[in-house]
Amino acid sequence: MNERDTLRIDGSGRLTIGGADCVALARQFGTPLYCLDEDHIRNMMRAYRDTLAREYEGGGIVLYASKALCCKAMYLIARAEGIGADVVSGGELYTAAEAGFPAELLYFHGNNKTPEEIGQALDRRVGTFVIDSELEAERLEEQAARRHMTQKVLLRINPGVEAHTHAYIQTAKTDSKFGFSVQDGTAARMIGLLLSKPHLHLAGVHCHIGSQIFEKQSFAVAAEKCLAFLAECRRTLGFEAEELNLGGGFGIWYSDGDKMRDAAAYADDLRALISAVKKGCAAHGLRLPRLVVEPGRSIVGEAGITLYTAGAVKEIPGVRTYLAVDGGMFENPRYALYQAKYTALVADRAAEPPTRLYALAGKCCESGDLIGVDMPLPEVHPGDILAVLSTGAYNYSMASHYNRNLIPPVVLVKNGAADYIVRPETYEDLVRRDVLPERLR
Ligand code: LLP
């Protein structure tokens, strides 16, 4: 169990988040319900922000990777904590703008930004584009020229380091839709191309080697490869990078087998990355670039839980026992997509030792609609409130209306009290955009 302040089990075995009783939250707001602990989010943002400011003389910025959980409140929190954000679509950009987030602190990612999205981002004066195709470079140059603007850009490169959750491999071959390969020379060619564009200001490079990474070494290797590439660019093209963006990816705790770490441990990871950058710069005789990191999952993941009401139990002797909840892949598709592992607790008996394994089933018409298999729990009865932990990242942001289920609301908890940051949907919301052409009537 998480012994930090986010989740606690009180003396009578009840689970609390941010000081609020989970059963009471379920009663007040209904289930399924996404709950987020505000202090956890802020602590993580501060840990990254302060570490970068304290330990790195070259300057830089922490960005919240808003794909992890995108809604207006998250941009307000990021702004209040003095960090930037990355966005990957017109929709995320619009949400940030609606929240009043300063556009100059936004980095715009995406491997296929549409001409419309490029125009919107320019009109809003987004600080930095991260270029990920030649077509984008051409379109951006043309649109910036039309507006008499010079746009700051980074080039997304693929340094040939592939990180998996607990390991990394260095690959000579590049099979990814993201980034220009350093190894095969396309990255260097793109640097040359971007330098030739009068309305683009090339500030440096970006790389993101993967997500849910525990292997610190992989970040250091990626940093070193980027710096070696920048040293080569200086030699061959006379290009000196001002900025290096090393992406996100720090792994979080979901279940037994994952490391459980506090904000100080994540700060240590960033410190290790910073020292790799300094070492690499010294080795290659490079000036320290402005350093940018983009954590998403590690900021909101463990800050969040999802509350469900237990429903039907289906016991198949000798096979498994399914326990149905009132959510499913429409609000957490990560088991269906990645066989992701989660931990579940009964909210008012959180200290009770598990006695059996349940497959937590959703309510969608799909056999693979599970939240998890083999989840150890005490005997669960219909009506019990279940909490699934570490659902703050890539749950709400990946939710859908499959089977016309309503996407659950999100509440933000602070000092034991909760407020909606995403209000509940209604069935009317579901049919709002449906249209009946005359001939069908
Ligand atoms: N920067 C870039 C360019 C990214 O593509 C990502 C994540 C991040 C930053 C943030 O990485 P994080 O710190 O959150 O690991 N849906 C998947 C995760 C996809 C991650 C996509 N990119 C999941 O649920 O596991």
Please give the share of the chain, as a percent, with pLDDT higher than 90. 94
Q: For 208-213, what is the mean pLDDT?
A: 93
- Residue 210 near ligand 1, beta carbon < 6 Å: no
Ligand 1 atom 17 nearest Cα: 394
Ligand 1 centre distance from Cα of residue 82 (Å):
21
Whole-angstrom distance, CA of residue 289 vs CA of residue 364: 49
Q: For 413-425, what is the mean pLDDT?
A: 98
Q: Which residues have a catalytic role annotated?
A: 365
Whole-angstrom distance, CA of residue 392 vs CA of residue 387: 12
Pocket probe mutation, ligand 1, options 294, 335, 397, max atoms within 8 Å of Cβ: 294
Amino acid at 321: T
327-373 residue pLDDT tens: 999 999 999 999 999 999 999 999 999 999 999 999 999 999 999 99
- Residue 334 near ligand 1, beta carbon < 6 Å: yes
Q: In this predicted structure, what is the pLDDT of residue 259?
A: 87
Ligand 1 centre distance from Cα of residue 112 (Å):
17
Ligand 1 centre distance from Cα of residue 68 (Å):
7
Same topology for domains 7-31+304-391+393-423 and 38-297, yes or no? no
pTM of the model: 0.97
Please identify, in words, the CATH class of the domain defined by 38-297. alpha beta
- Residue 65 near ligand 1, beta carbon < 6 Å: yes
Mean pLDDT in the chain? 96
- Residue 296 near ligand 1, beta carbon < 6 Å: yes
Q: For 239-247, what is the mean pLDDT?
A: 98
Confidence at 32, pLDDT banded by 50, 70, 90: very high
Pocket probe mutation, ligand 1, options 63, 297, 371, 398, max atoms within 8 Å of Cβ: 297
Confidence at 163, pLDDT banded by 50, 70, 90: confident
Q: In this predicted structure, what is the pLDDT of residue 4?
A: 58
Q: In this predicted structure, what is the pLDDT of residue 172?
A: 57
What is the number of the ligand 1 atom nearest to the C-alpha of 294?
A: 9
Distances (CA, A) of 398 to 17, 108, 250, 392: 22, 19, 19, 11
Is residue 173 pLDDT above 70, yes or no? no
Q: Sign of the CA dihedral 197, 93, 417, 310? A: negative
Ligand 1 centre distance from Cα of residue 293 (Å):
12
Q: Which residues lie across from 181 on neighbouring strands?
A: 158
Ligand 1 centre distance from Cα of residue 217 (Å):
18
The first and second tokens of residue 287, run together, are 């000036």
Pocket probe mutation, ligand 1, options 64, 67, 131, 253, max atoms within 8 Å of Cβ: 67
Whole-angstrom distance, CA of residue 29 vs CA of residue 212: 31
**Residue ranges of the domains in the chain?**
7-31+304-391+393-423, 38-297
Are 306 and 321 in contact by the 8 Å Cβ rule? The answer is: no
103-132 residue pLDDT tens: 999 999 999 999 999 999 999 999 999 999
Q: How many CB atoms lie within 10 A of CB 177?
A: 8
Q: How many CB atoms lie within 10 A of CB 339?
A: 11
Is residue 216 pLDDT above 90, yes or no? no
- CATH domain 7-31+304-391+393-423 topology: Lyase, Ornithine Decarboxylase; Chain A, domain 1 (2.40.37)
